[in-house]
Amino acid sequence: MQKMFTKKRRLVYLLLPLGVFALSLVLMSSSHREAPLISNDPLADNTDLYVFRSPDNSNRVNIIANYIPFELPQGGPNYYNFGTNIRYEVHIDNNINTKGDDIIYRFTFQNTNEDPSTFFNIRLGKQNLKTTYTLQRSMNGGMSFTNIITNGVVPPNNIGARSIEQPVGLNRTYNAIMNDAILTATTGEKVFCGPIDDPFFVDLGGAFDLGDLPRQGDGARDGLAKYNVHSICLQIDISTLQKDGKTVAQAANILDPNYVIGVWASSSRRATKTLQSANGGSPFDLTGGGTFTEDGAWVQVSRLAVPLVNEVINPIGSKDLWNALTPYQDLANIGTFGEYSYNPELALYMDDSKFGAAIPAFRALRVQSRSLGQFDFRNGRMGLFGLKGSPALAGTALAESAFGGLLLPGPGKPRSVDIWPIIHTGVPNMRPYQLATGKGGNPLAEGKPFIGNFLPNGGDMIRLNMAVPITPRNSVDFSSLGLVQAAVLGLTDPRFNTNKNLEFIPNMDGFPNGRRLEDDVTRIELQAIGGVVLAALGLFYDDYNPAAMPAQSPVTNRLVNTITYSTGVEKNDTTFKTAFPFVQTPWRGTLITNQ
């Protein structure tokens, strides 16, 4: 093995064929109705979570948590709104040395009927189910909370011109109403809560018809096009989020590990709901009819961090339990949930010795079965476990003295080195988690840094290194492939692939280093399960055989197939705003024509 890695290779700095760039680089619902129980409780159903440095203010980070899937813009008469009796929360871990959350934002909503005599939602300036919120913040992991917004306004649904702009309605433009709902908390955060276009995009119909992504029979369709969602948007100073209160200017470098935050969102309900009935009798007493009470402890009913985890990583039998746990309980339940990352179900469909033939749409994706002639990452195989304890691992993240205990937990868990850490720990800027650029063919050697979002609490979170600069959205380098595209550039672009220095490579601020609204996370995750991250580190695909063909480029057809793989739905069905809250105005009920 040693011999193979040290063999002189001329293809140290990889060149991806230009053709790849000529292709438009192009991927499912993140967590919409993803588990049996929560699919019956739409108001508490957390659909997506985004965490990204703000393109319009580099000192700030945006956190967007979305709820209530598949809102029809025309869904009257009551439309959709945040639920009362629900705690909607955004949680932040910024310090591995403190147990659990460090910061919690807690939103609670109230609604009132301004005119209970009508069935219309809005009439003559009056609005029913008019919703306001209280925002509380805890800076000590939930021990104490302070109110930082009271009576925050939630805009109405975008029903139509008569209800919004016309004098018989609210007599204002929707965007004016939306802008007025952007508030500044007493502690400086910008906040918006309201209906928006669902920024997620995915071919739902194809995906869940046994993985028909991209569709083999007919064309791809964005199954979330023209649906709305209710969004909680926060814009927060990096110095508020950083564990020591430091500004981003004080970061040691763009991968400073002290700037890593882990973010997750949740919703909770009271343990007991009691439906009341009218008292009845004669004379008939209506008291209590059509009401309910809720009491008892708060119980978490939905959670979300890394997209699609409870959608396509956890199988149906475990989804409801997962929603009830906090990320800090994931490690304790690794016996149940670890396996879904170590041996992901989706990898069965990218493996010809398993169910590879069952999903023709995934034929571009094949997991490495003999990377560098020896490493087999197919489900149930050894992956890198054969190296455990080897002196060759000294100084790498896989060394026992480092994180070998987490990352090489046992035989038959091949994806413990890529899929598991991407979801549960983040990835450190350490060997072997550097690009193959400069590694001289040895994946364990030092290469070009591209990620450092390590926060090894073992829980599913979106981890963002806040020190990584922002890729401007209008840059030609901006790509919805996120960190995968940063890796492609670091491996193939002459601006970045001639040295192994730490440089800012565009899209290093993309998923899975945080998550931008534009990131095509379905595609990125399917590519990751297809082994693209392993390949980026130098654990190339089976059709790379330098032993037989010393001059062969590691950019083999299989790598090209993986990089060019697409689900066929590559971007949102509308644009994003260029300023907070970035998410787009909700679709109008009267403008929906083709659903």
Residue ranges in 340-359 that form contacts with another protein under rule CB under 8 A: 345, 355, 358-359
For 436, the enclosing helix (H) or strand (E) is: none
Q: Is 124 in the site for another protein (CB under 8 A)?
A: yes
Cα–Cα separations (whole angstroms), residue 158 to 47, 154, 245? 20, 12, 39
For 406, the enclosing helix (H) or strand (E) is: helix 404-407
Binding another protein (rule: CB under 8 A), the pick from 117, 474, 501, 575 is 117
Q: Is 11 in the site for another protein (CB under 8 A)?
A: no
Q: Is 477 in the site for another protein (CB under 8 A)?
A: no
How far apart are the C-alpha atoms of 398 and 314, rounded to whole Å? 26
The least distance separating another protein from the CB of residue 531, rounded to whole angstroms, comes to 14
Q: Is 125 in the site for another protein (CB under 8 A)?
A: no
| 3 state DSSP class of 207 | helix
For 300, the enclosing helix (H) or strand (E) is: strand 292-304
Binding another protein (rule: CB under 8 A), the pick from 96, 324, 402, 502 is 324
Residue 283 backbone zone (phi > 0: left; psi -120 to 50: alpha; other: beta): beta
Q: Is 564 in the site for another protein (CB under 8 A)?
A: yes
If the CB atoms of residues 56 and 165 are measured against another protein, the closer one turns out to be 165
Q: Is 219 in the site for another protein (CB under 8 A)?
A: yes
- Where in 431-470 is the site for another protein (CB under 8 A)? none
How far apart are the C-alpha atoms of 507 and 423, rounded to whole Å? 19
If the CB atoms of residues 54 and 266 are measured against another protein, the closer one turns out to be 266
Q: Is 322 in the site for another protein (CB under 8 A)?
A: yes
Q: Is 215 in the site for another protein (CB under 8 A)?
A: yes
Q: Is 385 in the site for another protein (CB under 8 A)?
A: no
Q: Is 110 in the site for another protein (CB under 8 A)?
A: no
Q: Is 590 in the site for another protein (CB under 8 A)?
A: yes
Binding another protein (rule: CB under 8 A), the pick from 30, 67, 82, 83 is 83
| 3 state DSSP class of 267 | strand
Bridge partners of 464, per DSSP, are 261
How far apart are the C-alpha atoms of 591 and 572, rounded to whole Å? 18
Q: Is 72 in the site for another protein (CB under 8 A)?
A: yes
- Where in 135-194 is the site for another protein (CB under 8 A)? 159-163, 166, 168-169
- What the block records as the tokens of 513 is 């280093």
The least distance separating another protein from the CB of residue 83, rounded to whole angstroms, comes to 6
Q: Is 332 in the site for another protein (CB under 8 A)?
A: no
The least distance separating another protein from the CB of residue 446, rounded to whole angstroms, comes to 27
Site string for another protein, 247-276 (x = CB under 8 A): ----------------------xxxxxxxx
- What the block records as the tokens of 11 is 């293809």
How far apart are the C-alpha atoms of 336 and 329, rounded to whole Å? 11
Question: Rg of the chain over CA atoms, in angstroms?
Answer: 25
| 3 state DSSP class of 524 | helix
Bridge partners of 294, per DSSP, are 273
If the CB atoms of residues 239 and 300 are measured against another protein, the closer one turns out to be 300
If the CB atoms of residues 79 and 342 are measured against another protein, the closer one turns out to be 79
- Where in 516-545 is the site for another protein (CB under 8 A)? 541-545
Contact 543, 561 (CB under 8 A): no
